[in-house]
Amino acid sequence: MPDISPSRVRLLVSVRDAAEAALARVHGAGLIDAKDPDRGALGALPPETVRAIVAASGDRLTSAVAGEPHDGQEASACLAALAGTGVRYLKIAWAPGRAAAGLMLPAGIPVIAVLFAEDGPEGADVPALAAAGFSGAMIDTKGKDGRRLTDHLPLPRLASFAASCRAHGLLSGLAGSLSLDDIPDLAALGPGYLGFRGGLCAQADRKGGLDPVRIAEAARRLAAVVPRSEAA
């Protein structure tokens, strides 16, 4: 059973290939996420690329995005395509309120439902995700137009989402054009991880290369956040 209750918030770094995975591992990523930034918010990479990323990630946790399906049947096919790559988690786009009819989650691999901030997800969406068999839930932004997660949803809504995930035993994540300055406020909400791509690239260009200095600084700032359990 995966560790869904880390004592500290993990830094998720989205990478496009094995070289970026190695860079993220060396500079402090806690969760290395395979994703194609040239194919939208949740563009899936080929299975062979994902396998190479897993190998380059060493002892770090890994995940891979599996796309943006329209229904449960399509989601099942997207997940099955990456089920044999060796990643620890799979992530799939899922609309709030979507029926789980036709959804078959792969055995032995926890799947995280990704809700888009533009759809206005709430903590009330979490029980249905848990009932459908998802092991985690996260909020990301679909449009990569410069607006950050908190431009779409206020901190109290995000806090409610993270709290609902904890109450239902799900790993939670927050992402969406985050900057380094977002770390203190969002980490204080107690998610399992904060996800980054553009904010860790040179000139904040998510389609460009990762900047090792930015990765290290994000890891440093996250390490400085006092976990909820210790602050209580």
Q: How far apart are CA 172 and CA 146, in angstroms?
A: 23
Q: Which of 91, 142, 144, 207 is catalytic?
A: 91
DSSP state of 166: H
202 CB neighbour count, 10 Å cutoff: 11
Bridge partners for 64 per DSSP: 34, 90
Considering only the C-alpha atoms of the chain, give the largest distance between any 2 of them, rounded to a whole number of Å. 45
HSE-CB at 174 with a 13 A cutoff on CA atoms is 31
HSE-CB at 119 with a 13 A cutoff on CA atoms is 18
Q: Which of 35, 142, 144, 207 is catalytic?
A: 35
35 is catalytic: yes
Q: How far apart are CA 130 and CA 165, in angstroms?
A: 9
144 is catalytic: no
DSSP state of 175: E
**Which residue intervals of 33-119 are DSSP H helices?**
47-56, 72-82
**Contact predicate 12/33, CB 8 Å:** yes
Q: Which residues contact 88 (CB under 8 A, 6 or more apart)?
A: 2, 61, 62, 63, 109, 110
Tokens representing residue 150 in the block: 């908190």
Segment holding 3, helix H or strand E: none
> What are the catalytic residues?
35, 91
